[in-house]
Structure 1
Amino acid sequence: MSTLLSVERLMAGYGQARVLHGIDLHVDEGEVVVVLGANGAGKTTLMRAISGLIPSTGSIRIGGAEAGGRPRPEKVVAAGVSLVPQGRGTFAALTVLENLRIGAAVRRDTAGIKQDIEHWFEVFPVLHQREGQVAGTLSGGEQQMLAVARALMSRPKLLLCDEISLGLAPIVVADLFAVLGRINRESGTALLLVEQNAELALALASRVYLLEVGRVASSGAADEFRDNDAVRRAYLGY
C-alpha cells in the first residue's frame, strides 16, 4: 500500500500566532485515519494547511509530489484531495445543483459529471428533492450532506472531513458516517477525519493521531486507542 498523503514538520498558524509546531502524519491509499484532540489542539488548522487555505512551512506531499509550503487550493483538489470544511462548506446563495457542479470545477468530463450528480442524488435523495433550492435554506443535516457530496464531485483520492457531525442530530450523524464507510469500501477513497464524535470515528478508522497544543502527542492503531482508559475518558466520554 503506497502513501497518498505525507506531512512532515508542518508548521502553520494565523498571523504571528503559530498553532502547529512540527506535525508529522501520513495517510495511505484507501486508509481511514482520524485526528483527535481537545478544542484548540490545532485540528482545523491542520486541515486548512493541508488544503492550502492558510500558509504553512514544512513538507506536504500528495501522491509523492511535493505540494509546497502553501499549495494553492485548486491545485490540491486537482491532485486528488478534497475538503469538507467545518461549518458545512456550501455556497449558501447557490442552489443544490449549482453547488454540485462547482464541486466538479476541476473536471472536464461532462457526461461523468452528470453521472456523478445522479449518483449523489441517489445516495442523498433529499438533495434530489431540493436540487433547485438555495443551499442556505436547507436544514443543517441537508447542508452537510450537500457539503460531502460537493467535495466528492471532484472524485478525490483522499477526502478530508473537519467535524462533519458538529451540531447535527445523532441519527443524521450516523447516516453520514455510514455513507463515508460505504464510500471508503466501495471506491477506495481514503479518509482523514477530524471529529468530535470520537466513538464513531474510531469505529471507522484504522489509525489515530492525537494532537495536543499543535503537536502529535501519540499515534497508533484505532483499536489501541479504544482500549486505552485515559483516551476513552478524555475523548469518548466513558
Structure 2
Amino acid sequence: MDSLLALAVDPAAWAALITLIVMEIVLGIDNLIFISILSNRLPEAQRARTQRIGLSLALVMRLTLLGTVAWIVHLTEVVFTLFGHGFSWRDLILLAGGLFLVWKATGEIRHHVTHEDEAAEKAASTVQLTVAAAIGQIIVLDLVFSVDSIITAVGMTEHMPIMFVAVIVSILVMMFAAQPLARFIDRNPTIVILALSFLLVIGMALIAEGFGSHVPKAYIYAAMAFSAFVEGMNMLARRAKTKRVKSVEE
C-alpha cells in the first residue's frame, strides 16, 4: 500500500503512466481496425457483441500476460539458431501473427475487390463468417498484439501497477471507440481497403520484426496518418462534387 501511495504522488510515475497509456492505445489501433473490419462482415445485430468480446479477450490476455511477466521476459531469449540468426519465442509469435495478418488482409482485400454488388457482398459475407469464426480469428491476433504490447510495457517501466492501469485504460478507450470506428468503416467502402492495406503493412512489419529487422513504428504510423489524411481529403472532394451535382439537377 505504501508503494502505491508513493507512486500516486510521484510525478515521474504519472508521466510514465500517461506515456504508456498513449503507447498502448497506438499499439492497439491495429487490433481495433482488425476487429472492426471483421465484425462488419457479421449481421448488424451481432457486431457490437463481437467487438466487446474481442476487446474483452484482449484485456484478459494482456492482464494474464502481465501476471506472468517474468515468463514474458524469457520469450525474448534465443531458443534456436537458423542460418546464423537466433530466433526467440517472441520472434516466432510475431512471424506467425504477421503471416496470419498478411493472409487475412490479402483475403479480405480480394473479397472486397471481387464483389462488385454491395448487397450481394454483404449477403455473402454474413454467410461465410460466423461469430465463432470471427472470435477465433480475433483471439489469434489478440495474442500476437498482446505479447508485443506487454513486452513494450515491460521495457518502458518496472512498476506493475502502472502497467496494469495503462492496459486497462487503453482497452477501455478502444471499447469506447470500437463501434464509431466500425460504423465509419462500414459507411465508407474505400476506407475498408485503406484499413486493410494498413493491416497488410503491419503484417509485413511483424514478419520483419520476427526476422530481427526492427521497423520503427513511428514511420509506419506516420505513413498511415498521411494516407488517412489524403483519403479524408478525397472523401470531402467526393462529397462536395455530389452536392454540386444535386444542386445542378434541382
Same fold by TM-score, threshold 0.5 exceeded?
no
Per residue, is there more helix in 1 or in 2? 2
Q: Which has the larger radius of gyration?
A: 2
> What TM-score, normalized to structure 1?
0.22
Larger RCO (CA within 8 A; separation ≥ 6): 2
Per residue, is there more strand in 1 or in 2? 1
